[in-house]
Structure 1
Amino acid sequence: MGGIFDAVLAFMDKGGDVLWLIAILVFVMWTLIFERLWYFTFTWRKEVFEVIKTWEARSERKSWNAKQVRMRLLSQSREAINANLPVITTLVALCPLLGLLGTVTGMIEVFNVMAVTGGGDAKSMAGGVERSTIPTMAGMVAALSGLFANTYISRMAAREQEYLQDNLTSDH
């Protein structure tokens, strides 16, 4: 187990400080993604049942007041369904930007080595190039994984919202 931990630390060291920022961002992003998956898997069905039960308990469902109650129920449910989705979207967009920040900081290191050594020492510049490419790769991989998960959850949220809207009928 220590070998894996040491390998991860060596990788993180090669990527520089920006790689740690990307790791924290990915941790927060995936925590929110798993929270939404947990919500839809375990909590949402109970909430749908309660909303439909509240709507069906009304004696009438055709008046203006009933339509306002329906709109309120749908609005509250929409708010619960879409919780954290804008934050996840923002975190997905930040991943490649932090990767580019890593690129810039790595290239600054390359230019610094070129200034100190006179520009001809390829071995010295390799560390900066490595430090610039690893965060870029990590930011892109993180963004892609978050993008697929965010798309899946957004579609799930839209589907569930439509399901609830279809079940709050006023025709009976």
Structure 2
Amino acid sequence: MVPLIFCSFVMWTLILDRVLFFSRLEKKDIELHTLVRIMEKGNLPGKVRGMRANLVRHLMANRTRNTAVDKGIVDQCAMAMRPYLEQYLAAIAVLAAVSPLFGLLGTVTGMITTFDVITLFGTGNAKAMAGGISEALVTTQSGLVVSIPGFFMSVLLYKQSARAKSRLTEAVSILKRSL
């Protein structure tokens, strides 16, 4: 149970980190139609945060007025952002996949305990066998309780990552056309 609890704690810590990260990306971000206006005016409101705002902020800070160089700056910034959109997602999926295996390990140790009791006392002592069977069932259930929501959250976070990458690609495309 200890590895399963540790696995669950790490997985849910990473899930919470990603949920907060994706919510901050969308929270006070600028709309696509305002990207061009912001680039023309040259000023980005201070309270604006998010992925598109960071892209514009980076471009405005490093802008050279040379179209080819500025397009490269946009690409460079987008490439630097992409790994953060996928960060920890594979680890969350692996931890969700490993947790039923930890449950299975507990099942095996519980059954070994049950067979040891049978070896010592025979099948006549149901109370002695119940401890091993209980250990087997509890660890199996715990592994599934950790795994199923973990897989669900992993899929949701992968979808959020794909949406964020799509929004980033749209913003890069619009910024490149406006340069």
Query: Do both share a fold (TM > 0.5)?
Result: yes
- 1: distance between equivalents of 2:132 and 2:150? 28
Equivalent residue for 1:40?
A: 22
- 1: distance between equivalents of 2:93 and 2:76? 26
Q: Relative CO higher for 1 or 2, CA cutoff 8 Å, sep ≥ 6?
A: 1
- 2: distance between equivalents of 1:60 and 1:85? 37
Equivalent residue for 1:158?
A: 162
Equivalent residue for 2:153?
A: 149
Larger Rg: 2
Unpaired runs of 5+ in structure 1? 1-18
Within the candidate set 165, 172, 177, 1:171 is matched to: 177
- 1: distance between equivalents of 2:86 and 2:95? 15
* Contact 2:75 2:172 (8 Å CA) reproduced: no
Unpaired runs of 5+ in structure 2? 30-48
> Which digits, 9 at most, give the CA deviation of each residue in 1:106-154, with x for residues without a partner?
0010010011113332221111111001110110111001111111111
The answer to whether 1:100 aligns with 2:115 is: no
Within the candidate set 86, 89, 95, 2:93 is matched to: 89
> Which digits, 9 at most, give the CA deviation of each residue in 1:50-107, with x for residues without a partner?
213334646354x4x5554444322211111111111111111111010000100100
- 2: distance between equivalents of 1:27 and 1:52? 37
Kindly, what percent of the aligned residue pairs are identical?
Answer: 30
| 1:15-164 superposed matches below 5 A | 19-42=1-24, 45=29, 46-48=49-51, 49-55=53-59, 57=63, 59-61=65-67, 63=68, 68-164=72-168
* Contact 1:78 1:161 (8 Å CA) reproduced: yes
Give secondary structure in 2 for the equivalent of 1:168: helix
Give secondary structure in 1 for the equivalent of 2:177: coil
| TM-score between the two structures when normalised by the length of structure 2 | 0.76
- 2: distance between equivalents of 1:74 and 1:105? 49
- 2: distance between equivalents of 1:168 and 1:60? 16
* Contact 1:52 1:167 (8 Å CA) reproduced: no
* Contact 2:24 2:50 (8 Å CA) reproduced: no
